[in-house]
Amino acid sequence: MVQFHKPAWLENSLVRWVDHRLPIFSFMSHELYEYPTPRNLNYWWNFGSLAGIVLVIMIVTGIALAMHYTPHTSLAFDSVERIMRDVNYGWLIRYIHMNGASFFFIVVYIHIFRGLYFGSYKAPREILWMLGVVILLLMMATAFMGYVLPWGQMSFWGATVITNLFSAIPWGIGDWVVTLLWGGFAVDNPTLNRFFSLHYLLPFVIVGVVVMHIWALHVHGSNNPVGIDTKGDQDVIPFHPYYTVKDMFGLGVFLIFFALFIFFAPNYMGHPDNYIPANSLSTPAHIVPEWYFLPFYAILRAVPDNFIGGWTTEWLGFIIFEAKLAGVLAMFGAIAVLFVLPWLDRSPVRSSRFRPMYKWFFWIFAIDCVVLGYMGALPAEGIYVVISRVATVYYFAHFLVVIPLLAKFEKTKELPKSISEPVLGGGGGGASAAPAKPMEKA
């Protein structure tokens, strides 16, 4: 059985002197050396710490880029080109930052789908999950504003389209909000300036929410592939060195893929139109957001004009909705629904391994998200619109119909008695395995 010890350096006299005044070392010891982690975590559990590392990479490269970037409409594009051509290693730092955004979303989306598959959002981890959704929203806002900074054609028109979403707010508030966001009558220099300010600020807000996310995590510890609570020392191992080493290995694999893109396909996930300086008098023929926004973009466009507008005037006579409001509400609703997921899914079983039906619906949902992503990249016409609408309806049906019904009708498989039981046999102190004393605590 694995022993949980305080590390030897905690006995160092200088460490003890500091620790007596600021218990930072016993905090580290408690959260790393003595922190019990389920022994059965698989590689899908690497993506949380990986996301944290990518956040650090983004902040470090971002600070370096901000030393050379100029947030002014007449200088921004050229300052980015100067970073690429003249600044020492500027090309490297910018490509890390640019691709880092995409990889951040790859890692975080995998992290989210891991949570969905293994039921990590269920009690007692609801707040942990909701903080995660807050991080996702902040990441989206940060990524969007970062994409505006190079002041290329996609930057400008992306900013125009996304800020105009807010004009859908009814009762005349929308136009007021949009003017407020722009600081003028169109996306222009004041907009660029404030986006730069906020793009620098928000990552540190993300860090703050990440701290709370980890705090909440460490209260009840990680969920695990089996999805049952840990029952004692035979179910857990210390985070360090077991998972620090595993996370480091995962990081190495991740960095290989990351480096492949940075050095061999740095613009693969970008859009060539953004290397054309912004022109407020000419919109590119086909504007598309960055890939990580595509599913939401598809939902935005899928809602037909006057879909809610037509109804609401009948149902709620005094409210006159703008037609485009419905699409905007649907897009934000696609994320909002994640907030209430812990209460939509009343099934007591967390892991899909013991939910034979949910497992299938999980994969259908995953495919649905990919379909939405594809549709978001294609022009909104013909059959694509129909597919987008079906996929959008399914997206919401998954959360609002499928999941609540499964909780009622699904026959789940029998859960193992403990995490160690399938490995050690018996209730944790099996015959053939280590003669560990079963330490049933709860």
Contact residues for another protein (CB under 8 A)? 3, 5, 7-8, 33, 60, 64, 67-68, 82, 85-90, 92-93, 238, 240-241
Please identify which of the residues 19, 31, 81, 218 carries the catalytic annotation: 218
- Provide, rounded to whole angstroms, the least separation between the CB of residue 238 and another protein: 8
Please identify which of the residues 246, 271, 324, 398 carries the catalytic annotation: 246
Does residue 414 have an active-site annotation?
A: no
- Provide, rounded to whole angstroms, the least separation between the CB of residue 3 and another protein: 6
Does residue 247 have an active-site annotation?
A: yes
| DSSP three-state, residue 380 | coil
- Provide, rounded to whole angstroms, the least separation between the CB of residue 410 and another protein: 43
- Provide, rounded to whole angstroms, the least separation between the CB of residue 260 and another protein: 17
Whole-angstrom distance, CA of residue 428 vs CA of residue 26: 30
> Which residue, 39 or 82, is less far from another protein as judged by CB?
82
Residue 438 exposed, middle or buried by CB count within 10 Å (0-12, 13-18, 19+): middle
> Which residue, 84 or 276, is less far from another protein as judged by CB?
84
> Which residue, 240 or 389, is less far from another protein as judged by CB?
240
Does residue 398 have an active-site annotation?
A: no
- Provide, rounded to whole angstroms, the least separation between the CB of residue 58 and another protein: 13
- Give me the residue label for tokens 């996301």: 51
> Which residue, 72 or 82, is less far from another protein as judged by CB?
82
- Provide, rounded to whole angstroms, the least separation between the CB of residue 322 and another protein: 47
Please identify which of the residues 233, 290, 322, 421 carries the catalytic annotation: 290
How crowded is the C-beta side of 67, counted as CA atoms within 13 Å?
A: 11
Measured between alpha carbons, how far apart are the two ends of the chain, in Å? 19
Neighbours of 124 (CB within 10 A): 11
Please identify which of the residues 79, 222, 347, 388 carries the catalytic annotation: 222
Dihedral-angle region of residue 276 (phi above 0 means left; psi in -120 to 50 means alpha; beta otherwise)? beta
DSSP E strands in 90-222: the ranges are none
Instruction: Name the nearest CA neighbour of 177 among 191, 187, 163.
Output: 163
Residues in the chain: 442
Does residue 246 have an active-site annotation?
A: yes
> Which residue, 185 or 264, is less far from another protein as judged by CB?
264
> Which residue, 18 or 56, is less far from another protein as judged by CB?
56
Whole-angstrom distance, CA of residue 97 vs CA of residue 102: 9
Whole-angstrom distance, CA of residue 65 vs CA of residue 79: 10
How crowded is the C-beta side of 190, counted as CA atoms within 13 Å?
A: 9
Does residue 352 have an active-site annotation?
A: no
Please identify which of the residues 102, 120, 240, 247 carries the catalytic annotation: 247
Dihedral-angle region of residue 187 (phi above 0 means left; psi in -120 to 50 means alpha; beta otherwise)? beta
Name the pairing type of β-strands 36-38 and 236-238.
antiparallel
Catalytic residues: 218, 222, 246-247, 290
